[in-house]
Amino acid sequence: MSRLSLGDGGMPAGWGMPSPLYNFETGKYENDGIVWLSDERCTMADIEALKDALGENVNIDVATVFGGKSFRDRNKDFYPYKQSIKL
């Protein structure tokens, strides 16, 4: 019998898929790349492991590498990602 897991999508530990935001102006979902989720400090070895797993041209949300907020957290409350209703 095989072992069940949640799976990691082929990504090394510490990395995760971003939650995209809907851009009400363009009608498309957007993100700024793969995010660093670990509480540990990101190292060059972590970045190289991600590139080995997903390819040299993988897009990385750089702010998360340095402990900052993700694209989603930086933009979710602002236009064009937050819909404003005017009466």
Using one digit for the tens of pLDDT, what is the confidence trace for 49-87?
999 999 999 999 999 999 999 999 999 999 999 977 777
Domain region containing 44: 33-81
Residue 17 lies in a domain: no
Q: Is-contact 43 86, C-beta < 8 A?
A: no
Residue 46 lies in a domain: yes
pLDDT band with cut points at 50, 70 and 90 for residue 10: confident
Q: Which pair of tokens denotes residue 16?
A: 């995760």
Residue 50 lies in a domain: yes
Residue 41 lies in a domain: yes
pLDDT at 7 over 60: no
Domain count, the chain: 1
Residue 73 lies in a domain: yes
Residue 55 lies in a domain: yes
User: What average pLDDT does this structure show over 34-51?
Assistant: 96
